[in-house]
Structure 1
Amino acid sequence: MEVFQLTIMKPNQVLLAVLTQIGVQLGRVFERSRSEAKLRHDATHDALTKLPNRRALIERMEEGFWPKRRFKLLLIDLDRFKAVNDTFGHPVGDLLLVQVADRLRAVVGQKGFVARLGGDELATLVEGDLDRALDVSHQITMSFNEPFDLGRATVRIGCSIGLCCTDDAASVMELVQLSDIALYEAKRNGGGQTSCYQVGMKEAVAERHSLESDMRIAMGRREFHLAYQPVMTLCDDRIIGYEALIRWDHPVRGLVPPASFIPVAEQSDQILAIGRWVLEEACREAATWIDDRHVAVNVSSVQLRSPRLLEHLISALTTSGLPADRLEIEVTETALIESGEKVSEILTAIRTLGVKVAMDDFGTGYSSLSHLRQLPFDRIKIDRSFVANAMTDQSSMAVLKGVIQIGRDLGVSTLAEGVETKGQLDLLRSLGCDVIQGYLIGKPTRIARQAMAAA
């Protein structure tokens, strides 16, 4: 037989027990509430910078998009951030992002909104008119002028900004898309600037993507070919070589101008494969020529930065059997600047192979003379603009005379581009220019072998 014991509690004990249970339950509720609040915060904030994240940005824009539509979205992308990560490691890159977030907070103030969308892309919302948004954009850009002290290193970076107004978009997601398109334009034009979305940008991006897609299959379909433009020496009016120029015969678009597809190829890194093909094809063709005429090939900044450029040069020369001194590589000043500090080593390595190097479009940059003094060149190609204007513009004439004299003093051959009239030819001959190229001598043609046979 079981015996049950009944405990009778006094009223104050009952009250204490009830209050204890209530306290326990309230504690659990409070802890659950705090945990849920933390989860909500973590779901809408970036763990590294403590900024709101993409989700929080979208929610914030959704709140204000209808019916007010009074804000501007600024997408911010850090310039040269990858170089910091690659050079100093991701911990230093993370520290840089934290400092960037602090500077952006300082610009927009306590009432402003800044978010990190991921990687090195951030965003801010600006209420007011376009002038207000552009002013904030300018302040952001200026805030990056001061270097970032990261302990192990002090670095300088910039930023590119894409801006779009709510008036241009039908939804929040379209606003993000259009701002991203504007950001792409800012970076495509060199970075360190703000680009406002304009009507037509969306269609232009779609066209570039279509062109890029077509380009990926163009080589396999043999849609590319090379056209060769003759180069003539003025000492005896003899054709001494040809510049190889790529052409694209698109089955639908027709002949696509290089100015339209080369920048797209460079931005998508397809220029490496295309550039290799140009080198191989130009060397193969030149190796069939019956005399010692050289072939000149343009090399982009992307190729100059590639560690595989020398490999491609050696492969093209070896496979074709073309002597190295009959190949000339042309680089623009823009390519030299974009290729960084190691460009001298790269050009020296190319010349060590026996390949000649020419500076293309000389005179159009801000530091042409500096590059000419510091870097090894075999030829200076004078930009066509000076040739075209020399007979009517004193400044162009002065530059033309000066460059030819500098080349003579340095022992570097000078080549004038864009010669189209006999008057220009006579002028260049009288000034002592070594070599000329242009429509007066011959247009680029893919039938170089037949043209040379007749020359």
Structure 2
Amino acid sequence: MAHDVQEWSSGSRWAAHHTPTRWIAAIGALLLIIIISVTAWAVLATRDRALHNGERELSNTALILTRHLDREFEDLLSDQRDISTLLGAGALNFQLGAKSVHEILRSKASGIGEFELFDAVGMQVNSSRAWVGATLSQQQFPPAEQLKPIAGRKSSIGLIRDAVTTNWIIVLSRPITDQDGTLIGTIVRRIPASLYETFFSSVALGEQAALALFLDDSALVARYPEAHDSIGKVFRFGSLEQLFRDGSMTFQSPSPFDGSLRLAVSRPLKHVPLLLVASRSIPAILTDWRKQTELLLSIAAALAIVISLVLSMFARRLLQQHKETQYRLKMDKKRLDVAVNNMSHGLTMFDAAGRLEVFNQPYLDIYGLSSEVVKPGITFEEIVAHFREIGGEEEPLQQYFEFVASHKDQKGTVEVSFSDGKSVLITRQIISEGGLVTTHEDITHRKKAQERIAHLAHFDELTGLPNRTSFRDHLNAAFASLKDSNPLALLYIDVDEFKTVNDTLGHPIGDQLLKAIADRLESCLRHDDYIARLGGDEFAIVLHDQHSAHQIGNFAKMVHAAVRDTYDCDGHAISSDVSIGIAIAPQHGSDPNQLISHADMALYAAKSDGRRTFRFFEPEMDITARAKHELAVELRRAVADRAFDIHFQPLVDLATGQISGCEALLRWHHPTRGAISPAEFIPLAEEIGLIEELGEWVLAESCREAATWPSHMTVAVNVSPIQFKRQTFALNVALAVARAGLGAHRLELEITEALLLRDNDTTLATLTELRNIGIKIALDDFGTGYSSLSYLHRFPIDKIKIDKSFVARLTDEQSSLTIIQAIVQIAASGDRITLAEGVETSEQRDLLKKIGCTQMQGYLFSPALRTEDLNRLISSGQVPDNAPPPSAEHSTDELRAAAAT
């Protein structure tokens, strides 16, 4: 059917070049150069870093050791000075073998060498060695030529070889003079050089490390590893010449002991002419570096191989793609012919002379043209004539003709509409050769969908009433023409207890009820009034030309009367009602937002008054709303800052009279408002979405505190139904118990009967999950709400809490006593605990104990206590018979309101 299609350009520009592989080779070479350069740099850098680290370790070791040796030699010299002073002053007897002198020398020796005392002519007269009468073994007096004076001191130091043992000895010598300066003797300390070899061996320096101690004249004193043959030898030669000249330095040099190239650090001692040298073999220092180098070279080689393989594969892929592209271009031309005749839009192409070159079947179908008449070569005028012959409408035909015939614009679009509702969108494009291409799209279904979308954007799909967007537009327009003589009233309407219908009968029944209520509301309107559904179970009515509150009130009563009639929804007879909030403009609002806000406040007041009524806006409502908003802001800040306290009210076991647990009660002491009742901030926290965060904190803190109590005590924590709705609630409770280190059996979660009304299957599943991990469940305020014995049968309840309203009338009303007896018997039959709340007199306690109640809680025993007060009470091991009466700050009502949910 298609006559011809323009030829496509064959081949792509890049395929004309034969150099892609050259570029790939160049890129590969560059990458390899980069890899080699980076690897070489990394190898050198890591080597320098390894040497630097080795130098730092040696330097630190040398510094630590020289400080240690300096302190030791300072002590040795100090001991010599003290003994010399005592002997020189005549305080001690300088006679041969004087025992008092021996004791002094022995006490000063301290295990580091021995003292020997010589007289003025070099005869030994005493020693720190073991005392054996008056006979002393004769020790060699150190020759003066082998000693070096110690700068700034009277002492000298030297290295000599013991004539008997042939061991090397470090000698510290100090002359003893009397008060006139006359030499009367010499005190000598002999320290085995092997002591320092042993000391050096205890220092861990790593593989192939060494420590050596030299006299500053280069004589070796001690070394580890041992070099006994070299002790006493002079090493002032080669590169070591500078070492003994400069003292403190870092250098690399072949070792005179084993010939290995070593990195060495030298440090001179401060108090004696000794030099410490710490060294390590450079190959040992570079051991880790060699492993890193091998790894780097392996990685670099692997990377180079991978890059080479990838680039090689890429080059082959490019060549293959070039061949495939050429093939695809040929196939695309063939597919184009098929596509033209299978596209959803109609297509025509006319040449510069106005003759048809290309068209497709959808074009013929859209206009009902015959393929016998419309053929390649036919002119546009002949197509128009054919359209008239088959009875085509003149008006859309004229639009089509004028649009195609006009060449004013290069490109243009026109929508042609037919009397049967069909719409066609025509697009014209003039091509470079002077011809013309047109496309024709049947947009009938699209237009209907757009109209549907436009309707849904402004109207509620369920009731057909205008939606919130339309309502705002209407109210804005009404305010634009508002005059004092032409007031309007806004009624905000909320269906009472609609959620109960949805929860109990299902959403389809709820939808039917909403539609029926909308019809009845609409039936109450006059021709110029307006109604909209704002969403959910909320409606709004705008009354025009209502001049008095009395008229508006009558209208509200009429709405109530209309809505209250019973509804038949799929066989269910449903009674319903509404709460209405009313605001009048301009009296209650000078702009739409203010009027809506005030109507919403009035609706809230109507619902607070018990629903099923209407309320006009009053200025006090705005004040109340602002105060509530301020409190909400402060509550958010308090939750973020954890500005709350948790008090604990003891639960007393009636059988033993001991505290069996405590109930956690939340307190908020505002810095300026003082104590704020939980009955005020707990419902607000639920309303503004803070109760989950607050509840999790209370649970965690209560578990943490309870973990410090005696193991038999439990902690009871109230849970909001909002917390309970979360699928992760049981997991959060388990985490809180685990983090606190509290046994799961010591936690009780208190729930209300209202929670059991909601989604029984989900509630049962969550309660079962909690019970499986050991958590106890307590049913709070039993008997005051929608109590049902089926709860006790169906749900896993461990404890029943008897409401304080029954306990308060226990001694005065027989009915309260009967109810409590029944509850206790029911609980006992199911092996459940019963706890009476609000016990304030001993008469109540005795009667409850008599009828078998298990536990009690109330001011007879104790109010809610701070943590420190509770700990004192627990430590005392006693429970008071009469606690102080409830104060204004901690009333019984407030204690229970802390758990209000």
TM range (shorter): 0.7 to 0.9
Which letter maps to 1:55?
D
| Farther-moved stretch of structure 1 (379-388 vs 284-293) | 284-293
Partner of 1:8: none
Partner of 1:400, secondary structure, is helix
Partner of 2:703: 283
Which letter maps to 2:767?
L
Contact 1:105–1:114, Cα closer than 8 Å, also in 2 = yes
Which of 590, 596, 616 is the matching residue for 1:171?
590
Instruction: After superposition, give the CA deviation of every residue in 1:180-225 in whole Å (9 maximum; x if it has no partner).
Output: 11333456789x7445245432222222221221111213323111
Which of 130, 135, 152 is the matching residue for 2:557?
135
Which of 69, 73, 87 is the matching residue for 2:490?
73
- Between the aligned partners of 1:96 and 1:80, the Cα distance in structure 2 is 12
Partner of 2:781: 361
TM-aligned CA distance change 1:351 to 1:217, over 3 Å? same
Which letter maps to 2:813?
D
- Between the aligned partners of 2:510 and 2:827, the Cα distance in structure 1 is 45
Q: Is the aligned partner of 1:214 residue 2:634?
A: yes
TM-aligned CA distance change 1:330 to 1:81, over 3 Å? closer
| Farther-moved stretch of structure 1 (220-229 vs 434-443) | 220-229
Structure 1 residue runs of 4 or more that deviate by more than 6 Å after TM superposition:
41-44, 81-84, 92-99, 154-159
Partner of 2:859, secondary structure, is coil
Q: Is the aligned partner of 1:347 residue 2:771?
A: no
- Between the aligned partners of 1:340 and 1:55, the Cα distance in structure 2 is 43
Deviation at 1:75, TM superposition (A): 1.1
TM-aligned CA distance change 1:402 to 1:118, over 3 Å? closer
Which letter maps to 2:721?
S
Deviation at 1:121, TM superposition (A): 3.8
Which of 34, 46, 54 is the matching residue for 2:472?
54
Deviation at 1:94, TM superposition (A): 9.4
TM-aligned CA distance change 1:182 to 1:140, over 3 Å? farther
Which of 837, 844, 849 is the matching residue for 1:417?
837
| Farther-moved stretch of structure 1 (163-172 vs 294-303) | 163-172
- Between the aligned partners of 1:155 and 1:266, the Cα distance in structure 2 is 33
Deviation at 1:80, TM superposition (A): 4.0
Which of 386, 390, 396 is the matching residue for 2:810?
390
- Between the aligned partners of 1:155 and 1:268, the Cα distance in structure 2 is 35
Which of 672, 686, 706 is the matching residue for 1:266?
686
Matching of residues 332-343 of structure 1 within 5 Å: 332-338=752-758, 341-343=761-763
How many residue pairs match? The answer is: 409
Deviation at 1:433, TM superposition (A): 0.7
Which of 652, 673, 684 is the matching residue for 1:232?
652
Partner of 2:793, secondary structure, is helix
TM-aligned CA distance change 1:337 to 1:145, over 3 Å? farther
TM-aligned CA distance change 1:268 to 1:57, over 3 Å? same
Which of 514, 525, 530 is the matching residue for 1:113?
530
TM-aligned CA distance change 1:336 to 1:137, over 3 Å? farther
- Between the aligned partners of 1:47 and 1:234, the Cα distance in structure 2 is 61
Q: Is the aligned partner of 1:161 residue 2:574?
A: no
Partner of 2:677: 257
- Between the aligned partners of 2:483 and 2:492, the Cα distance in structure 1 is 17
Instruction: After superposition, give the CA deviation of every residue in 1:294-318 in whole Å (9 maximum; x if it has no partner).
Output: 0000001111112221121011011
| Farther-moved stretch of structure 1 (323-332 vs 210-219) | 210-219
Which letter maps to 1:66?
D
- Between the aligned partners of 1:345 and 1:43, the Cα distance in structure 2 is 40
| Farther-moved stretch of structure 1 (48-57 vs 221-230) | 48-57
Which letter maps to 1:444?
A
Partner of 1:454: 876
- Between the aligned partners of 2:575 and 2:479, the Cα distance in structure 1 is 29
- Between the aligned partners of 2:812 and 2:603, the Cα distance in structure 1 is 41
- Between the aligned partners of 1:262 and 1:195, the Cα distance in structure 2 is 27
- Between the aligned partners of 1:198 and 1:429, the Cα distance in structure 2 is 53
Which letter maps to 1:54?
R
Instruction: After superposition, give the CA deviation of every residue in 1:261-287 in whole Å (9 maximum; x if it has no partner).
Output: 000011112000000001100110111
- Between the aligned partners of 2:536 and 2:599, the Cα distance in structure 1 is 17
- Between the aligned partners of 2:647 and 2:666, the Cα distance in structure 1 is 6
Contact 2:581–2:601, Cα closer than 8 Å, also in 1 = no
Please report the RMSD computed on the Cα atoms of aligned residues, expressed in angstroms.
3.7
Q: Which has the larger radius of gyration?
A: 2
| Farther-moved stretch of structure 1 (286-295 vs 356-365) | 286-295
Which letter maps to 2:787?
S
Contact 2:530–2:542, Cα closer than 8 Å, also in 1 = yes
Deviation at 1:247, TM superposition (A): 0.8
Partner of 1:123: 540
Matching of residues 292-331 of structure 1 within 5 Å: 292-331=712-751
- Between the aligned partners of 1:62 and 1:218, the Cα distance in structure 2 is 43
- Between the aligned partners of 1:341 and 1:63, the Cα distance in structure 2 is 55
Partner of 1:401: 821
Partner of 1:124, secondary structure, is strand
Matching of residues 178-217 of structure 1 within 5 Å: 178-185=598-605, 193-197=612-616, 199=618, 200-217=620-637
TM-aligned CA distance change 1:408 to 1:117, over 3 Å? closer
Partner of 1:9: none
Deviation at 1:443, TM superposition (A): 0.6
Partner of 2:641, secondary structure, is coil
Deviation at 1:158, TM superposition (A): 6.8
Instruction: After superposition, give the CA deviation of every residue in 1:135-173 in whole Å (9 maximum; x if it has no partner).
Output: 234246436854379xxxx99897753322528625353
- Between the aligned partners of 1:81 and 1:432, the Cα distance in structure 2 is 38
Partner of 2:849: 429
Instruction: After superposition, give the CA deviation of every residue in 1:210-269 in whole Å (9 maximum; x if it has no partner).
Output: 122111121332311110000011111111000001111222221111111000011112
- TM-score of the superposed pair, with normalisation by structure 2: 0.41
Contact 1:241–1:294, Cα closer than 8 Å, also in 2 = yes
Which letter maps to 1:252?
T
- Between the aligned partners of 2:634 and 2:566, the Cα distance in structure 1 is 38
- Between the aligned partners of 1:185 and 1:311, the Cα distance in structure 2 is 39
| Farther-moved stretch of structure 1 (340-349 vs 251-260) | 340-349
Contact 1:75–1:121, Cα closer than 8 Å, also in 2 = yes
Contact 1:81–1:120, Cα closer than 8 Å, also in 2 = no
| Farther-moved stretch of structure 1 (111-120 vs 322-331) | 111-120
Unaligned runs of 5+ in 2: 1-398, 400-450, 878-901
Partner of 1:285, secondary structure, is helix
| Farther-moved stretch of structure 1 (339-348 vs 204-213) | 339-348
- Between the aligned partners of 1:61 and 1:143, the Cα distance in structure 2 is 34
TM-aligned CA distance change 1:240 to 1:93, over 3 Å? closer
TM-aligned CA distance change 1:97 to 1:436, over 3 Å? closer
TM-aligned CA distance change 1:384 to 1:119, over 3 Å? closer
Unaligned runs of 5+ in 1: 1-23, 25-37
Partner of 2:446: none
- Between the aligned partners of 2:578 and 2:649, the Cα distance in structure 1 is 39
Partner of 1:229, secondary structure, is strand
TM-aligned CA distance change 1:291 to 1:44, over 3 Å? closer
- TM-score of the superposed pair, with normalisation by structure 1: 0.78
TM-aligned CA distance change 1:157 to 1:289, over 3 Å? farther
Q: Which has the higher contact order (CA 8 A, sep 6+)?
A: 1
TM-aligned CA distance change 1:65 to 1:233, over 3 Å? farther
Contact 1:327–1:356, Cα closer than 8 Å, also in 2 = yes
Deviation at 1:323, TM superposition (A): 0.8
